[in-house]
Structures are given as C-alpha cells and as structure tokens.
C-alpha cells in the first residue's frame, strides 16, 4: 500500500472524529511514514510497520467521549439501512412499545440509581468527617460552660475529647478526599471499559 492510499483509508475510518483531530492524526502518520522512509525503509515497508488503519481508528475511537461514539454508531447504522427497512423498524418500535419501554426505563433506573448510590457514598463520607469535626468544636465551646460553672474537671474532659474529635475529623477528611479520588478513578476505568466494548463490537 502506498502512503497516499494508507492515509486516505485512515481518513475515511476516522471521519467521525472532530475535524482538527482528523488533521492532527493524518499529519502525525504522514510524518511517521516520511521519517521511516528517510531512515531507509521502502514506502510499502513504512506503511506496513504502522499496523492496519482499522486498528488505529479503533483505538482512536475508544479514546473519544461517549457521545461521539454513540453518534458514530447512529451514523453507521443510518448509512447501512435502506429507507424501507428503516420504516419497518419504526413500525416495529411503535408496535412493540409496551414491551421495550419498561425494559428501557428499568435499565435507565438501574444506571441512575447506580450513580446515585455512588454519589450518596461520597456525600456520606464527607458528612461523617465534617460532623465529627463540628462535634469536636461544639465540645470545646461547651467546655467553657464547664469552667464557668466551676466544674473544672468536666471542662478539661470536654476540651480533651473535643481536640481528639477534631483530630479524628482531619484524618477522616483526608481519607474522604482519597476515597473520592479513588471512586472517580474507578468510574473512569469502568466508563472506558464500556466504551471499548462498544467500539470493538462495531468492527467485529
């Protein structure tokens, strides 16, 4: 395959990516082929060493945001179907509405509650940490009443517990911070894995 053929094929494969993304990618691979040829490879060797344009396109697609992938799916689908079969599918969708609608809704429900649950865990972590701290501050304030009413040991006891609670709160807040970061990272991994699943299926 010549350089021109390879780049044209690649451009076609990634045509759904944003315009500047396409240009950047083509420029990059063009430079790679030229550099390899300058290094003594023939044009065919240089092109072959880059792998197939399909696999390059697949990897690039997987790094796109979710919305871009869905849009690409829809466009792919549209370009493959004839108007008649599209009409048939619309009729089927309408007729079968009572069947697929509840399934779709419950699937959406599961997804929403999944994210709500994760959000709730994060909020709970922070709430617990902050409330321990507030408890500590309250106890220190309360201790002044102890001193004022000449219950000195009670006052000291309250201050001690108050400081301990604030210390605990600081540790808990640091813990919550890392836990939040960890959960967000896990979610990113999950979303990336799901995206990969979609892209792989398209080319299978």
Partner 1 sequence: MDIQLKRGLLEACVLAELDKGDSYGYQIVKDLSGVVEISESTLYPILKRLEASECLRVFSVEHNGRLRRYYRITETGRKKIKEFLNEWEEVTNVYAFISGINKGGQQS
Residues 12-51, mask of contacts with partner 1 (x by CB under 8 A): ------------xx-xxx-xx-xxx-xx---------xxx
Query: Of the two residues 38 and 84, which places its CB atom closer to partner 1 in the complex?
Result: 38
Cα 143 to chain centroid, rounded: 48
Q: Which is nearer to partner 1, 22 or 60 (CB)?
A: 60
Smaller CB separation from partner 1, 49 or 131: 49
The count of other CB atoms within 10 Å of the CB of residue 38 is 9
Least distance (Å) from partner 1 to the CB of residue 51? 5
Q: Is residue 55 a contact residue for partner 1 (CB under 8 A)?
A: yes
Separation between Cα atoms, residue 101 and residue 200, nearest integer Å: 27
Smallest distance, Å, CB 173 to partner 1?
23
* Beta carbon of residue 44, minimum distance to partner 1 (angstroms, whole number): 16
Q: Which residues contact 17 (CB under 8 A, 6 or more apart)?
A: 25, 60, 61, 64, 68
- Least separation, in Å, of the C-beta of 59 and partner 1? 7
Q: Convert residues 183-202 into a mask of x (bound to partner 1 by CB under 8 A) and - (unbound).
A: ------x-------------
Maximum Cα interatomic distance, the chain, rounded to a whole number of Å: 94
b or e along 171-190 (b: 16 or more beta carbons within 10 Å of the residue's beta carbon)? ebbeebeebeeeeeeeeeee
Beta-carbon contacts of residue 89 (< 8 Å; ≥ 6 apart): 81
Shortest distance, CB of residue 32 to partner 1, whole angstroms? Answer: 5
Using CB under 8 A, list all residues that contact partner 1.
24-25, 27-29, 31-32, 34-36, 38-39, 49-51, 55-56, 59-60, 63, 189
């Amino acid at each position: 395959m010549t350089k021109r053929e390879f780049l044209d094929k690649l451009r076609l494969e990634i045509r759904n990516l944003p315009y500047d993304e396409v240009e950047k990618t083509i420029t990059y691979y063009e430079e790679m082929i030229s550099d390899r040829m300058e290094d003594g490879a023939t044009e065919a060797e240089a092109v072959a060493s880059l792998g197939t344009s399909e696999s390059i396109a697949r990897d690039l697609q997987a790094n796109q945001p979710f919305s871009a992938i869905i849009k690409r799916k829809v466009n792919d689908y549209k370009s493959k179907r004839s108007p008649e079969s599209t009409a048939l599918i619309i009729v089927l969708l309408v007729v079968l509405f009572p069947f697929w609608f509840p399934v779709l809704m419950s699937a959406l429900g599961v997804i929403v509650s999944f994210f709500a649950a994760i959000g709730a865990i994060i909020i709970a972590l922070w709430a617990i940490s902050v409330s321990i701290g507030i408890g500590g501050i309250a106890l220190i304030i309360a201790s002044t009443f102890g001193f004022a009413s000449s219950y000195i040991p009670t006052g000291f006891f309250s201050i001690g517990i108050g400081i301990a609670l604030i210390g605990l709160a600081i540790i808990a807040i640091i813990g919550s911070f890392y836990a939040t970061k960890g959960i967000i990272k896990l979610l990113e991994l999950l979303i990336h894995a799901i995206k990969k699943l979609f892209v792989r299926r398209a080319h299978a």
